[in-house]
């Protein structure tokens, strides 16, 4: 046993074991080592991806990060928060804002699907879910506008507050449209860009209209 | 002899506190491949090897259905029910797609966009069974849960449509699409639509994982603190 140095044994076995495990095709197996760790890694990776996309929307540069790894978590969160903030505002809410909540939801998702279909029919190279992802994430400025509007409405419902809200919503509407156009218009041939941009314009216009005409009871 | 003497001295110098030679034998035993044999036997005998994954696979789906059925009793607020069920459905979609499929049946599917902007759907099935691989009980639970729940949501769709409670329709449609997407993806994996591209897999997952493992290997070779082999 003195002849068997620790060094030689531990060099042999780990190196053999690890050299024979191919990293590429069996990398899913490596995740099986513990139950907790890889799940946490997966969650953190997805959360970081979502956070990066939010940052990209606020500072729209021409980057392909939003386009490459799409995910629909951000749009879901934004849609739910926007719908929550918008409910309970219109004239006839005899229910507890039920129809309005579902309405906002349907408008956002159905509108995004229609725009995506439109851009695909015009021959765009972007994939279905990528386009949904971009349109959903670019609702972020309008969600911020909704938040600001609700805060302004807490202060008062007058002409001044209306003008402030108009300016804020208008600015955020422009930001949303520019951000999504920056990502989506590139995938189109040049003579079709306007045909793709105007539905996006309409989509965010409708959302902005819903935000601007929101008056709490 | 000189080599033997040097070999005898070398491990003691490397050990931090200089234990007696008894510890040398223990270190060798740790290095051998018999590490954790009792745990492995227990793992092999267990009918459910991933209890947490099995629980969560069923938990989110069943909770969504139960909440949908019982929301009239618990709360008057449509919005709260809607948001709760939607969140449960989303968590279920994510966990079934990313975690429980991997752990319970060794299948995985995902979407990938290459540089041309073309989207590829990748389906992958694990071929090499490992010790911690899934059992039949787990696989049965997985597939039953995967198939029964979309059927239930389809029944809800028709009941909502015919009873004209249209405000729930959006939610039911969302539920059907999320659960059917997972079902379709896993059936596709299972039936052999396997476009496993190991190069692409290594690019996606290897770039994140390989440096970590390589550095672990380097530290294992260099410092000999853990004389254990890799993960299994």
Residue B6: pLDDT band (50, 70, 90) is very low
- Answer whether residue B70 is part of any domain: yes
pLDDT of residue B18: 47
Q: Which residue of A has its CA nearest to B196?
A: A25
Residue A136: pLDDT band (50, 70, 90) is very high
B214 versus B131: the higher-pLDDT residue is B131
pLDDT of residue B14: 53
Q: What residues of A are in contact with residue B220 (Cβ under 8 Å)?
A: 10, 14
Shortest Cα distance from A135 to chain B (angstroms)? 17
> Among all chains, which residue has been given the structure tokens 């039920």?
A98
pLDDT of residue B106: 81
pLDDT of residue B103: 82
Q: Say what the pTM is.
A: 0.68
| Per-residue model confidence as pLDDT tens digits over A76-129 | 999 999 998 888 655 554 555 556 788 888 899 999 999 999 888 887 778 888
Contacts of A136 (CB under 8 A, 6+ apart): A72, A74, A75, A76, A78, A79, A108, A112
- Answer whether residue B8 is part of any domain: no
DSSP one-letter code for B206 = I
Report the distance separating Cα B33 and Cα B231, nearest Å.
11
- Closest by CA to B107, choosing from B141, B136, B142, B132, is B142
B213 versus B177: the higher-pLDDT residue is B177
Query: CB of A102 within 8 A of CB of A84?
Result: no
Residue A208 has pLDDT above 80, yes or no: yes
Q: Which residue of B has its CA nearest to A72?
A: B90
Shortest Cα distance from A22 to chain B (angstroms)? 10
B113 versus B134: the higher-pLDDT residue is B113
Report the distance separating Cα B193 and Cα A117, nearest Å.
27
Report the distance separating Cα B77 and Cα B100, nearest Å.
32
Structure tokens at B68: 């949908």
pLDDT of residue A75: 92
Residue B209 has pLDDT above 50, yes or no: no
- Answer whether residue B217 is part of any domain: no
- Per the structure, the count of domains in chain B is 1
Shortest Cα distance from B12 to chain A (angstroms)? 9
Residue B223: pLDDT band (50, 70, 90) is very low
Q: Which range, A65-74, A148-157, A169-178, has the best average confidence (pLDDT)?
A: A169-178
| Per-residue model confidence as pLDDT tens digits over A159-194 | 889 999 999 999 999 999 988 888 877 777 777 788
pLDDT of residue B222: 42
Residue B9: pLDDT band (50, 70, 90) is very low
Burial of B52 (0-12, 13-18, 19+ CB in 10 A): middle
Chain A segment 1-60 residues within 8 A of B by beta carbon are 1-11, 13-15, 17-18, 21, 23-33, 35, 39, 42, 45-46
Query: CB of A184 within 8 A of CB of A196?
Result: yes
Residue B173: pLDDT band (50, 70, 90) is very high
pLDDT of residue B178: 92
- Answer whether residue B110 is part of any domain: yes
- Closest by CA to A37, choosing from B216, B39, B83, is B216
Angle between helices B78-95 and B51-74 (to 10 degrees): 170
What is the rounded average pLDDT of the residues B103-131? 76
pLDDT of residue B148: 93
- Answer whether residue B183 is part of any domain: yes
Q: Decide if B113 and A4 are in contact by the 8 Å CB cutoff.
A: no
Nearest-CB residue to A10 (from B202, B227, B232): B227
Mean confidence (pLDDT) of chain B: 71
What is the rounded average pLDDT of the residues A11-15? 50
What is the rounded average pLDDT of the residues B29-57? 68
What is the rounded average pLDDT of the residues A145-163? 89
Residue B202 has pLDDT above 80, yes or no: no
Q: Decide if B52 and A35 are in contact by the 8 Å CB cutoff.
A: yes
Chain A segment 107-126 residues within 8 A of B by beta carbon are 125-126
**Enclosing domain of residue B107:** 47-204
* Range with lowest mean pLDDT among A35-44, A137-146, B112-121, B219-228: B219-228
Report the distance separating Cα A90 and Cα A101, nearest Å.
11
Residue A12 has pLDDT above 70, yes or no: no
The three state secondary structure string of B156-195 is: HHHHHHHHCCHHHHHHHHHHHHHHHHHHHHHHHHHCCCCC
Q: Which residue of B has its CA nearest to A102?
A: B167
Residue B210 has pLDDT above 60, yes or no: no
Report the distance separating Cα A205 and Cα A110, nearest Å.
15
Mean confidence (pLDDT) of chain A: 78
Nearest-CB residue to A187 (from B7, B117, B209): B117
Nearest-CB residue to B102 (from A31, A69, A127): A31
Q: Decide if B117 and A106 are in contact by the 8 Å CB cutoff.
A: no
- Residue from A1, A16, A24 to probe the interface with B (highest B Cβ count within 10 Å): A24
- Answer whether residue B14 is part of any domain: no
A139 versus A62: the higher-pLDDT residue is A139
Q: Is the interface score ipTM higher than 0.85?
A: no
Sequence-ordered alpha helix ranges (H) in chain B: 2-14, 21-31, 37-45, 51-74, 78-95, 136-163, 169-190, 198-201, 207-223
What is the rounded average pLDDT of the residues B134-143? 82
pLDDT of residue A187: 72
pLDDT of residue B129: 61
pLDDT of residue A35: 39
| Per-residue model confidence as pLDDT tens digits over B23-35 | 445 555 555 555 5
pLDDT of residue A141: 93
């Amino acid at each position: 046993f003195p002849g068997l140095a620790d060094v030689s044994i531990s060099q042999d076995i780990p190196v053999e074991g690890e050299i024979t495990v191919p990293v590429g095709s069996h990398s899913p197996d490596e995740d099986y080592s513990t139950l907790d760790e890889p799940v946490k890694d997966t969650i953190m990776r997805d959360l970081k991806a979502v956070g990066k996309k939010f940052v990209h929307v606020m500072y729209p540069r021409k980057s392909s990060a939003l386009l490459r790894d799409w995910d629909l978590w951000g749009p879901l969160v934004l849609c739910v928060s926007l719908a929550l903030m918008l409910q309970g505002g219109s004239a006839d809410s005899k229910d507890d804002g039920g129809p309005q909540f579902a309405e906002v939801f349907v408008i956002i998702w159905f509108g995004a699907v229609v725009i995506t279909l439109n851009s695909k029919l015009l021959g765009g190279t972007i994939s279905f879910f990528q386009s949904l992802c971009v349109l959903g994430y670019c609702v972020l400025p309008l969600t911020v506008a909704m938040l600001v509007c609700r805060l302004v409405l807490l202060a008062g419902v007058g002409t001044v507050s209306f003008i402030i809200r108009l300016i804020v919503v208008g600015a955020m509407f422009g930001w949303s449209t520019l951000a999504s156009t920056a990502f989506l218009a590139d995938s189109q041939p040049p003579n079709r860009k306007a045909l793709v941009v105007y539905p996006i314009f309409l989509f965010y216009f409708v959302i902005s209209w819903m935000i601007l005409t929101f008056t709490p009871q | 002899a000189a080599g033997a003497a040097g070999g005898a001295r070398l491990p003691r110098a490397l050990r931090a506190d200089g234990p007696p030679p008894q510890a040398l034998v223990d270190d060798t035993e740790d290095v051998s491949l018999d590490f954790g044999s009792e745990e492995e036997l227990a793992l092999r005998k267990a009918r459910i090897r991933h209890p947490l994954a099995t629980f969560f696979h069923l938990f989110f789906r069943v909770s969504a259905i139960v909440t949908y059925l019982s929301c009239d009793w618990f709360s008057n607020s449509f919005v709260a029910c809607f948001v709760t069920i939607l969140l449960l459905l989303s968590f279920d979609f994510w966990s079934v797609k990313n975690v429980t499929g991997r752990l319970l049946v060794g299948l995985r599917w995902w979407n990938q966009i290459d540089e041309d902007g073309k989207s590829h759907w990748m389906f992958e099935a694990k071929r090499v069974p490992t010790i911690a691989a899934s059992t039949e009980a787990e696989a049965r639970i997985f597939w039953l849960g995967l198939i029964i729940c979309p059927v239930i949501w389809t029944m809800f769709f028709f009941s909502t449509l015919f009873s004209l409670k249209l405000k729930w329709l959006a939610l039911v449609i969302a539920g059907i699409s999320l659960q059917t997407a997972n079902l379709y993806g896993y059936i596709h994996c299972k039936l052999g639509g396997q476009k496993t591209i190991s190069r692409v897999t290594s690019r996606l997952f290897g770039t994140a994982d390989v440096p970590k493992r390589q550095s672990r290997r380097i530290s294992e070779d260099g410092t000999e603190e853990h004389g254990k082999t890799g993960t299994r």
